[in-house]
Structure 1
Amino acid sequence: QAGTAAQAARNRNAAWAALRAERAPLLDGQPTAAHRSHFNDRRLAAQQAQQQAATALAAAQAELAATEARAAETARATRETAEAQGVAEARLAAALEAAGMTGTDLAALIALPPGTAESLRAELRGLDDAVTAARSALEARKTDLQEIEEQGLPAEDPEALAARLATLEAETERRAQEIGRLSAELARDAATRAALADLAAETEAARAELEVWEAVNKAIGARSGDRFARIAQAITLDVLVDHANRHLADLNPRYRLRRAADLSLQVEDRDMGDSPRATRSLSGGERFLVSLALALALSQMGGKGTFAGTLFIDEGFGALDAGSLDLAIDALETLQSQGRQVGVISHVEAMQARIATRIAVRKEGGGRSSLRVEGPGV
């Protein structure tokens, strides 16, 4: 059995070798899987090309339909244009017949320069005016003649009438020359208007700029400059009030300044719900603190943002009550604690008692006085 099986195996190997030898010339010796893949790729490419061709065919059919629609629309527009042309030609022929003109006359008029028609119209208007004036003068002369004939022969002698006639003829000649001059000026004006047509855009731009300046003049313009001055003063007063309120917040936070109408000042009382008050309603000490805040604000505005290093106050304390005097002295001491030198000129004893270092001025008689520095360590 083993020998039989071995012989069968050899026979099968021999048959397989014979089949391979027979298969070798087919498909260039390549395996069938490669040829199958190649033919499958070609089949897929053919299907894709067929789809692209179908898409191109659909697009071409749509384009054909659109082209046919446009052609139909063009044909319709051509027919309508031909009909409109026929109507226009009929109207033109009727207008020419009514005006007593021919096509040649119309062509000659069209060939004229653009300004010729306007100049001819101006000349015709001048001639019409001259004819109207001449007819009016003629009617007036006829009326005068009729009145004279009804009155009989004139009382003047022939020499006087001849002189008057010469004067009238000279006046007539002068008026004729004036009419000619005015006609020439009208023609020049028409030519000038045509030449200045290109300046319309510049005129519109100038008019727009004029409107801007007129708006500015309406807002702040005045012959005396008062309106603009009041606007500048109001802005400056707003800045001054803002600076003063910053100082007033340190001196007496109860009050706050604000600008009222006509460049006046009011005081807002924060303890009374920010109700406005007139500055004259403040007490002496409160008014002193408000004035001090305004003075500091003025010194800051005048010094380009810097504070005055030294401050002198001359009197103003004699009318203060004890509470207001304490407020004023506390405010001055606050300024001194901020690095400012504060000098006070006063005769109030309570004020002198609160100031440690003083310069006392004493009278010696005979118009002479002496100075003496008083204070701790002196």
Structure 2
Amino acid sequence: MLLDNTIRASEEQKDQLAGDIQMLKKAAQEIAVIYKKQQQIISDYQKYKTLSDIANGTKETDYISFERYVLAIYYEEIIEAANLRFQQMTNNRYLLLRKEDKGKGAGAKGLDLDVFDHYTGQTRSVKTLSGGEGFKASLALALGLSDVMQSRSGGIQIDTLFIDEGFGSLDPESLDTAIEALFSLNSCGRLVGIISHVEELKTRIPVHIKVDRTTEGSTAKIIL
């Protein structure tokens, strides 16, 4: 009698354990399916995260933001066009270069400029240029931008260009080269307007508008 009860209890325990094993096997299969799906989700996430980091320039590497990457493509064209003017205005001394060394956390960079000095054979920041040289670089970039916009505008002509000041920082030789570059634009059919207080420009430019300020207001007069 005691043995029968023991056998019966063992069989019940066996059946219960068998049921538990089946439940655990089913749970293990479900976990395996969920784990496989989770691994695929993690893999997809890593791909998209890497793409997002590259596009947003958030990695602390040589990445730049996607916006600046696209701008840099056009910027290269502008620099190339600007160098045609800049070399002319500096007697082939300087060449503008887009700065490639972006360094750590370069998401906010990618559009900085360097200048190559043919006299020294060295590359340095445009911030080291003198006031007159900096004005020439700015003028060359403005003209380069105008050239690129015109070439990409589907036939739209940019016929007028106004330059506000900056000539006062130029020495006589630099002033000559800057004016020569502007006259070359004028000879190509573009209207170039210069806003300046430099007296020498009055004798160099045949047609100008003189603005006088009085107590009753300002007056403008065309001088031929």
Q: TM-score range by the shorter chain?
A: 0.5 to 0.7
Aligned residue number for residue 343 of structure 1: 193
Q: Take 1:276 and 1:192, find their aligned partners in 2: how far apart are those partners? A: 66
Pick one of 95, 114, 131 that aligns with 1:256: 95
1:214-363 paired onto structure 2 within 5 Å: 214-220=49-55, 230-237=65-72, 239-253=74-88, 254=92, 255-260=94-99, 261-262=101-102, 263=109, 264-273=112-121, 275-299=122-146, 305-306=152-153, 308-363=158-213
Instruction: Give the deviation of 1:353 after TM superposition.
Output: 1.0
Contact 1:266–1:277 at 8 Å: present in 2 too?
A: yes
More strand by share: 2
Structure 1: 5+ residue stretches without partners: 1-116, 125-185
Q: Counterpart in 1 of 2:11?
A: none
Residues matched between the structures, number? 191
Paired residues of 1:284 and 1:324 also in contact (CA < 8 A): no
CA distance in 1 between partners of 2:35 and 2:140 (Å): 59
Does the C-alpha gap of structure 1 residues 230 and 297 become closer, same or farther in structure 2, counting only changes over 3 Å?
farther
Q: 1:250 offset after TM fit, Å?
A: 3.3
Residues 215 and 337 of structure 1, relative CA distance in 2, 3 Å threshold? same
Change in CA separation of 1:303 and 1:250 when aligned onto 2, cut-off 3 Å: closer
- Checking the alignment, whether the CA contact within 8 Å between 2:55 and 2:65 is kept in structure 1 is no
Partners of 1:212 and 1:353 lie apart in 2 by: 65
Task: Please list the CA deviations of residues 214-250 of structure 1 after superposition, one character each: whole Å capped at 9, or x if unmatched.
Answer: 4334545678xxx976453255245324312323213
- Is 2:211 aligned against 1:374? no
Alpha carbons of structure 1 residues 207 and 353: separation in structure 2 relative to 1, 3 Å: same
Q: For 2:220, what is the secondary structure of its paired residue?
A: strand
Q: Could you tell me the TM-score, scaled by structure 2's length? A: 0.66
Query: Using the alignment, how far apart are the partners of 1:251 and 1:266 within structure 2?
Result: 13
* Residue 123 (structure 1) aligned with residue 23 (structure 2): no
**TM-score, length-scaled by structure 1:** 0.42
Matches of 1:308 and 1:202, distance apart in 2? 58
Question: 1:9 matched to which residue of 2?
Answer: none
Q: CA deviation at 1:315?
A: 1.5
Q: Which amino acid is 1:341 matched to? A: L
User: How far apart, in 1, do the equivalents of 2:73 and 2:135 lie?
Assistant: 20
Q: How much has 1:349 moved relative to structure 2?
A: 1.7
Counterpart of 1:295 in 2: which secondary structure?
Answer: helix
- Structure showing greater radius of gyration is 1
Q: CA deviation at 1:190?
A: 4.6
| AA in 2 matched with 1:256 | L
Aligned-pair distance for 1:341? 1.3
Q: Is the 8 A contact 2:56 2:64 kept in 1?
A: no
Superposition pairs for residues 78-157 of structure 1, below 5 Å? 120=17, 123=20
Identify which of structures 1 and 2 has the higher relative contact order when contacts are C-alpha pairs closer than 8 Å and 6+ apart.
2
Once residues 120 and 237 of structure 1 are traced to their aligned partners in structure 2, the CA distance between those partners, rounded to angstroms, is: 69
Task: Label 1:368 to 1:200 Cα distance change in 2 as closer, same or farther (>3 A).
Answer: closer
Contact 2:54 2:64 (8 Å CA) reproduced: no
Hey, what's the Cα distance between the residues in 2 that align with 1:335 and 1:250? 11
- 2:79–2:96 CA contact under 8 A, matched in 1: yes
Give 1:272's aligned amino acid. Answer: T
C-alpha change, 1:296 and 1:122, in structure 2 (3 Å) is farther
| 2:114 alignment partner, SS class | strand
Q: Which amino acid aligns with 1:282?
A: L
Distance (Å, rounded) in 2 between the aligned partners of 1:198 and 1:356: 84
Structure 2: 5+ residue stretches without partners:
1-13, 103-108
- The Cα shift of 1:348 comes to 1.2
Q: Distance in 2 between matches of 1:329 and 1:355?
A: 9
